[in-house]
């Protein structure tokens, strides 16, 4: 059974930091690219950051470049999102997702999400 379980969300003041984790199981983690998405109330879901299977390629939304860092540990089947200098506009539910390497299109598996709230 495929599972993606996010953790690490919470309430933080503007300027603070959080580290999200996503533990994967039920599939061969190292065969998948991983992404972090977020969805704020009344807004569409957006890609925040993504990383390929070998960690040598990453992409970031312009709004988080220089503040967020995505990383992964294939030995632990876990992907991380380090979020620094958080802003109130970063408030959203954050989801991790997995996409099999080499396939174009959408992500195959999704987590249940973790809430991040940044107070001003």
**Residue 113 CB contacts under 8 Å (≥ 6 apart), including other chains:** 6, 39, 93, 94, 95
**Per-residue tokens: 15:** 């300027």
Task: Check: CB of residue 97 under 8 Å from CB of residue 4.
Answer: yes
pLDDT at 38: 98
pLDDT at position 66 is 98
* pLDDT, tens digit only, all 120 positions of the chain: 999 999 999 999 999 999 999 999 999 999 999 999 999 999 999 999 999 999 999 999 999 999 999 999 999 999 999 999 999 999 999 999 999 988 788 999 999 999 999 999
CA atoms within 13 A on the CB side of 51: 20
């Amino acid at each position: 059974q495929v599972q993606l379980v996010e953790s690490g969300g919470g309430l933080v003041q503007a300027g603070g930091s959080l580290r999200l984790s996503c533990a994967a199981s039920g599939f061969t983690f190292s065969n998948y690219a991983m992404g972090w998405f977020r969805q704020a109330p009344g807004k569409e879901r957006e890609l925040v950051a993504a990383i390929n299977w070998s960690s040598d390629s990453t992409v970031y939304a312009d709004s988080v470049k220089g503040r967020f860092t995505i990383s992964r540990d294939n030995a632990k089947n876990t992907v991380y999102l380090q979020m620094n200098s958080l802003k109130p506009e970063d408030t959203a539910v954050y989801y991790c997702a997995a996409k099999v390497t080499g396939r174009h299109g959408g992500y195959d598996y999704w987590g249940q999400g973790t809430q991040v709230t940044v107070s001003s």
